[in-house]
Amino acid sequence: MNFSRSTSLFQKAQQSIPGGVNSPVRAFRSVGADPLFITKAAGPRIFDEDGNSFIDYVGSWGPMIVGHCHPKVVEAIKKTAESGCSFGAPTELEITLAEMVIAAVPSIEMVRMVSSGTEATMSAIRLARGYTGRDNILKFSGCYHGHSDALLVKAGSGAATFGVPDSPGVPADFARHTLTARYNDLDSVRELVAANQGTVACIIVEPVAGNMGTVPPNPGFLEGLREICTQEGIVLIFDEVMSGFRVAYGGAQEVYGVTPDMTTLGKIIGGGLPVGAFGGKKEIMSLLSPAGGVYQAGTLSGNPLAMTAGIETLKLLQAPGFYQQLEEKSKALAEGIAKAAKDAGFPIYSTRVGSMFCAFFSKNPVYDWDTAAACDTQAFAKYFKAMLQEGIYLAPSQFETAFVGATHGDQEIEATIAAAAKCFKGL
Ligand code: PMP
């Protein structure tokens, strides 16, 4: 496969854009390759500047659950754009999407739109602090909640991939209020809460961790967090930026039957346009400006194009059997890849929740950041590059999740498993 145009564009990009990319993991740096420059995508496929075509399991890092360029979504965006791209004033579209989100997500009684997942978690935490009058927050190592200062502590995703889970530029004073526990380890939470009695405003957690690879919650973990939060007056925040509308229409909270006090969303609810949202109990959300005193704002918040793409995407997700079909094909794919690895004598640890899955290059179970970090990232890098040559576009890091969408059909799934079988044999 020839990547010469992408390679020359990457050289050019590095002159004007730090590292040549506008978000770090895109650079393929940790797998020792140059990124592909993309021209277009359609359904399950993505196309690069050299005219190569790939089956895409990145899906813009999660949003593209109905496939790229779904005609209904594209048509609706075009129609909205003809009436104006942004007004900085309220529109009915915002009410429509808010009502759809409230109807779907058990914990959400009121919701505010923002423009990214980072903004959603940052704002949710400010509100939780305003509500409780407490300063400390508790997160889990390996979870990623965007790049706001207080959350770049033991962070997953690109921060983990590049070995900077604690970024320079975050004053120690800002990080001081962030307590870090181990994912799937309730004792580590209890210890921290006890040692900081009455000072913890919120616990923020990815109910299905997707930023250290895919790590499902152990049975009882989310229930245990709920119990601790209720007992201690701590606001429980599920960061469902990735899992929301992904693992089920109502997100992970629907799947596991645990209701947090607040929820953050992003990705899918923007249908591929920039969006984020945070919502929860009325009692908490009413403290938000201008109803209450906790300040939060945005020039492009509730943007009509993003609202339109979100509304149309959510409508498509309501089709009967949508999530069942996604579950079946995701299962076939993840199991097929795991079997291909085993047959090649290269056993992996395979995890999956709905259409989120990960092949960990580890013989041992992965259930938290330490066990994820122990994976063979060099073998992963080889696998990644081999899969790319076979026309399969995976996230360029062991610490990311693969996403299956509605347009991945039997043909794509069979081709992916066959490619994986070949690549594992070659490792
Ligand atoms: N929370 C989670 C769980 C995420 O996966 C992400 C992004 N991958 C974010 C927050 C941050 O979202 P954004 O990149 O839109 O700022």
Confidence of residue 158 (pLDDT cuts 50, 70, 90): confident
User: pLDDT tens, 21-54?
Assistant: 999 999 999 999 999 999 999 999 999 999 999 9
Ligand 1 in reach of 144 Cβ (< 6 A): yes
Ligand 1 in reach of 121 Cβ (< 6 A): yes
Write out the residue limits of the CATH 3.90.1150.10 domain(s) in the chain. Answer: 4-69+321-426
In the block, residue with structure tokens 């920039």: 274
Counting atoms of ligand 1 from 1, which one is nearest the CA of 61?
A: 8
Ligand 1 in reach of 263 Cβ (< 6 A): no
| Residue nearest atom 10 in ligand 1 by C-alpha distance | 145
Mean pLDDT over 355-380 rounds to 97
C-alpha 427 – ligand 1 centre gap (Å): 32
Amino acid (one-letter) located at 183: Y
Confidence of residue 167 (pLDDT cuts 50, 70, 90): confident
Mean pLDDT over 231-249 rounds to 98
Q: Is the pLDDT of residue 357 over 80?
A: yes
Q: State the complex-level ipTM.
A: 0.99
C-alpha 20 – ligand 1 centre gap (Å): 21
Q: Is 239 one of the catalytic residues?
A: yes
Residue of 56, 239, 261, 368 marked catalytic: 239
Closest CA to 276 of 407, 150, 411, 113: 113
C-alpha 422 – ligand 1 centre gap (Å): 33
Q: Is 331 one of the catalytic residues?
A: no
In this prediction the pTM is 0.98
Ligand 1 in reach of 123 Cβ (< 6 A): no
C-alpha 413 – ligand 1 centre gap (Å): 27
The CB density around residue 54, as the number of other CB atoms within 10 Å, is 22
Ligand 1 in reach of 246 Cβ (< 6 A): no
User: pLDDT tens, 380-398?
Assistant: 999 999 999 999 999 999 9
Counting atoms of ligand 1 from 1, which one is nearest the CA of 206?
A: 3
Ligand 1 in reach of 242 Cβ (< 6 A): yes
The mean-pLDDT minimum among 86-95, 122-131, 152-161, 363-372 falls in 152-161
- Please say whether the structural domain 71-317 has been given the CATH code 3.40.640.10: yes
| Mutation test residue for ligand 1: of 139, 211, 356, 358, the one with most atoms within 8 Å of CB | 211
Q: Which CATH number fits domain 4-69+321-426: 2.40.160.10, 3.40.50.10800, 1.10.10.10, 3.90.1150.10?
A: 3.90.1150.10
Answer with the residue of higher pLDDT: 158 or 239.
239
Residue of 267, 323, 349, 367 marked catalytic: 267
- Residues of the chain with pLDDT > 90, as a percent, come to 94
3-state secondary structure the chain: CCCHHHHHHHHHHHHHCHHHCCCHHHHCHHHCCCCCCEEEEEECEEEECCCCEEEECCHHHCCCCCCECCHHHHHHHHHHHCCCCCCCCCCHHHHHHHHHHHHHCCCCCEEEEECCHHHHHHHHHHHHHHHHCCCEEEEECCCCCCCCHHHCCCCCHHHHHCCCCCCCCCCHHHHCCEEEECCCCHHHHHHHHHHCCCCEEEEEECCCECCCCCECCCCCHHHHHHHHHHHHCCEEEEECCCCECCCECCHHHHHHCCCCCEEEEEHHHHCCCCCEEEEECHHHHCCECCCCCECCCCCCCCCHHHHHHHHHHHHHHCCCCHHHHHHHHHHHHHHHHHHHHHHCCCCCEEEEECCEEEEECCCCCCCCHHHHHCCCHHHHHHHHHHHHHCCEECCCCCCCCEECCCCCCHHHHHHHHHHHHHHHHHC
C-alpha 264 – ligand 1 centre gap (Å): 9
Ligand 1 in reach of 211 Cβ (< 6 A): yes
Mean pLDDT over 56-73 rounds to 98
Q: Is the pLDDT of residue 78 over 80?
A: yes
Write out the residue limits of the CATH 3.40.640.10 domain(s) in the chain. Answer: 71-317
User: What average pLDDT does the structure give for the chain?
Assistant: 97
From the CA atom positions of the chain, what is the Rg in Å?
Answer: 21
Confidence of residue 227 (pLDDT cuts 50, 70, 90): very high
Q: Is 144 one of the catalytic residues?
A: yes
Q: Is the pLDDT of residue 164 over 80?
A: no
Confidence of residue 347 (pLDDT cuts 50, 70, 90): confident
User: pLDDT tens, 265-291?
Assistant: 999 999 999 999 999 999 999 999 999
In the block, residue with structure tokens 């919502």: 279
Residue of 57, 131, 144, 349 marked catalytic: 144
Q: In angstroms, what CA-CA distances link 215 with 73, 76, 155, 259, 391?
A: 31, 35, 14, 19, 26
